[in-house]
Amino acid sequence: MPILVTGGAGYIGSHTCVELLNAGYEIIVVDNFSNSKPEALKRVGELTGKRFISYRADLLDREELEFIFTRHRIEAVIHFAGFKAVGESVRMPLEYYMNNVAGTIALCQAMAKFGIKKLVFSSSATVYGVPEKVPISEDFPLSAMNPYGRSKLMIEDILRDLAVSDTEWSIGILRYFNPIGAHKSGRIGEDPNGVPNNLMPYITQVAAGKLNRLSVFGDDYDTPDGTGVRDYIHVVDLAKGHLKALEKIFSSTGVEAYNLGTGRGYSVLEMIAAFIEASGMELPYTIVGRRPGDVGACFADPTKAGNELGWTADKGIAEMCEDAWRWQANNPNGYEEESIRMEQVRS
């Protein structure tokens, strides 16, 4: 019986689809392609040599969603679909709550209607707000600093309420730290719209000459070199964590949250050095002021995922940088390249 993957064309979604297919799962993808491209799914098919069905559909389209549940005997859902840009969420809070929170409610309602009560949800380390200390474990207090973070926290609360209301639900909440890197093939990777907000896609675009220089946001944090420290995790390790979470929800009920991180923090300056080493490229940068809303250090205690899911991240920072660079170098315009080439062929 297939696994429904919402947002399967996105960065983490597409890498998880590859791992699911390679592990022999049947998948059905639902994506509205608001922030992703069908080309990503085409490449997932090429990489795995497997065929799968995908729907261009919005979770808020109840009729379409129920049609999909009627058509396929879905066994469990991995729910990636959601908006994820912090700055944008501050400017467009209603869109974020509608898409992320209402979209998840609509999905859970459809699942309940069809008696499917197994869910893996994409949450974020952002739900820890400003952590009192590091490493961060799952029992730390939760808070949010912006509408994006609040939407993740609201969904977590809703899922916890749902599991209390009906004990047949089995829900795994995965709190991602900082996913970077790409599939080894260089065929799928992160394809941000416009100027990237996150560090690694910004770095790769500077190295590629698409952006002039990197701004390092602050060097006066209480960290070894003063720059922000984060727990970067290879997206393929993260994808594999979803398969472990899936196994877990098949064998238990209730709701549990797991940190998916490496447990090791790297500063912005360490990331710059690692990237230069891995790519052999130059990376001009300037130290500027802090970015509002940033915390100094954020890294995971991943013990719970190790003990309860049997999952640990095993790819190191050099591999993350090499893979991120291969994706950028091979796809200077992300997934656009293919459609631009097609246009050129036609004209």
Gap between the Cα atoms of 321 and 66, Å rounded? 41
Given the residues 148, 176, 258, 335, the one annotated as active site: 148
- Kindly state the smallest distance separating residue 278's Cβ from ligand UD1, in Å: 17
Question: Is residue 148 among the annotated active site residues?
Answer: yes
Q: Which of 48, 137, 185, 197 binds ligand UD1 (CB under 6 A)?
A: 197
By CB under 6 A, tell whether 126 contacts ligand UD1. yes
Q: Which of 199, 207, 255, 278 binds ligand UD1 (CB under 6 A)?
A: 199
- Kindly state the smallest distance separating residue 135's Cβ from ligand UD1, in Å: 14
- Tell the residue number behind the tokens 């998880």, with chain if given: 16
**H-helix or E-strand containing 182?**
none
Burial of 213 (0-12, 13-18, 19+ CB in 10 A): exposed
Question: Which residue, 149 or 172, is less far from ligand UD1 as judged by CB?
Answer: 149
**Cβ neighbours of residue 194 closer than 8 Å, sequence gap 6 or more:** none
By CB under 6 A, tell whether 268 contacts ligand UD1. yes
First vs last C-alpha separation in the chain: 44
Question: Residue 123 forms beta bridges with which residues?
Answer: 175
Burial of 75 (0-12, 13-18, 19+ CB in 10 A): middle
According to DSSP, the β-strands at 118-124 and 297-298 are unpaired
- Kindly state the smallest distance separating residue 284's Cβ from ligand UD1, in Å: 13
Q: Which of 9, 65, 74, 86 binds ligand UD1 (CB under 6 A)?
A: 86
By CB under 6 A, tell whether 238 contacts ligand UD1. no
Burial of 164 (0-12, 13-18, 19+ CB in 10 A): exposed
- Span of 25-33, 41-49, 213-221, 241-249 interacting with ligand UD1 by CB under 6 A: 213-221
Gap between the Cα atoms of 248 and 6, Å rounded? 19
- Nearest CA-CA partner of 162 in 95, 74, 52, 79: 79
Question: Which residue, 166 or 220, is less far from ligand UD1 as judged by CB?
Answer: 220
- Kindly state the smallest distance separating residue 110's Cβ from ligand UD1, in Å: 27
By CB under 6 A, tell whether 252 contacts ligand UD1. no
Q: Which of 9, 216, 245, 317 binds ligand UD1 (CB under 6 A)?
A: 216
Site string for ligand UD1, 159-188 (x = CB under 6 A): -------------------x----------
- Kindly state the smallest distance separating residue 186's Cβ from ligand UD1, in Å: 21
Which residue of this chain has its Cβ atom nearest to ligand UD1 in the complex?
Answer: 228
Q: Which of 43, 187, 230, 326 binds ligand UD1 (CB under 6 A)?
A: 230
- Kindly state the smallest distance separating residue 26's Cβ from ligand UD1, in Å: 29
By CB under 6 A, tell whether 12 contacts ligand UD1. no
By CB under 6 A, tell whether 124 contacts ligand UD1. yes
- Structure-token pair, residue 282: 């130059």
By CB under 6 A, tell whether 100 contacts ligand UD1. no
Q: What is the residue type of 191?
A: D
Gap between the Cα atoms of 206 and 217, Å rounded? 15
Gap between the Cα atoms of 58 and 47, Å rounded? 26
DSSP 181: -
Q: Quick check: 235 and 261 in contact, CB under 8 A?
A: no
Gap between the Cα atoms of 221 and 235, Å rounded? 27
Site residues, ligand UD1 (CB under 6 A): 84, 86, 124, 126, 149, 178, 197-199, 202, 214-217, 228, 230, 268, 291, 293-294, 298
What positions carry a catalytic annotation?
A: 148
